[in-house]
Amino acid sequence: MKSPSSTCIRCFFLLLVLLALDSCRLFRRRESSVYDTPRNNTNSSHRYTYRTINQIIQEARSYTGVPYRSGGNDYSGVDCSGLLCTVYKSQGFSLPRISYQQAEVGVEVDARAIRPGDLLFFVTGTNGVGRINHAGLVTEVKNDTELYFIHASSSKGVREDNLWSRYWKACFVKAIRPF
């Protein structure tokens, strides 16, 4: 028969082991972001959540109708990568300034898994051959044939279009889930 003191010692030892494991980072429950993807953002005080995604989309939509201007990034004129860079910056996130560089920030997602807040990348005007030269932000996914993104069109300014339209579907290269 075990003595009461040996049982207490074993319980105490077990408690110490549990406390040690609890304090170990490997055993802590991880606080996940909305998309649970790697973060490339250098400012760790900002989280990529549904709330920030909605704020980014709202900020992007405030540019609707702004004319296209190559190299622009404000309400007087904006290009596609400048729009993304500016609206993400408004929420404390940093994106590269050039669309083909933005296409490398985050995790590539399958077209069937695209969600609001994801970035879309295209090769336009070259029959799909060449380097990524256009980008947009997914604003709304209605169904399998209606997926809307906002971008700065060189001919029509900032607007929302359907990814699955004939033109955009043919130019589409990939989708990225940033941060």
pLDDT tens digits, the chain, 179 residues: what are they? 556 666 767 766 655 555 455 544 433 333 334 433 334 444 445 688 999 999 999 999 999 999 999 999 999 999 999 999 999 999 999 999 999 999 999 999 999 999 999 999 999 987 767 899 999 999 999 999 999 999 999 999 999 999 999 999 999 999 999 98
Active site annotation includes 151: yes
Q: Which long-range contacts (CB under 8 A, 24 or more apart) does 84-89 make?
A: 84/60, 84/119, 84/135, 84/136, 84/137, 86/59, 87/56, 87/59, 87/60, 87/63, 87/137, 88/56, 88/178
Same domain? 5 vs 79: no
pTM of the full predicted structure?
A: 0.75
Same domain? 9 vs 62: no
Residue 139 near residue 116 (C-beta atoms within 8 A) = yes
pLDDT at 83: 98
Beta partners for 147? 141
Same domain? 25 vs 68: no
Please indicate, yes or no, if residue 171 is contained in any of the structural domains.
yes
pLDDT at 32: 36
Contacts of 122 (CB under 8 A, 6+ apart): 132, 133, 134, 135, 136, 168, 171, 172, 173
pLDDT at 3: 64
Copy the structure tokens of residue 122. 């295209």
Please indicate, yes or no, if residue 45 is contained in any of the structural domains.
no
Q: Which of 8, 46, 85, 134 is catalytic?
A: 134
Q: Which of 8, 11, 24, 80 is catalytic?
A: 80
Same domain? 129 vs 169: yes
- Whole-angstrom distance, CA of residue 36 vs CA of residue 87: 21
pLDDT at 18: 56
pLDDT at 17: 57
Same domain? 60 vs 91: yes
Question: Which range marks the domain in which residue 169 is found?
Answer: 50-177
Active site annotation includes 80: yes
Same domain? 74 vs 151: yes
Same domain? 24 vs 106: no
Please indicate, yes or no, if residue 40 is contained in any of the structural domains.
no
- Please tell me the total count of domains within the chain: 2
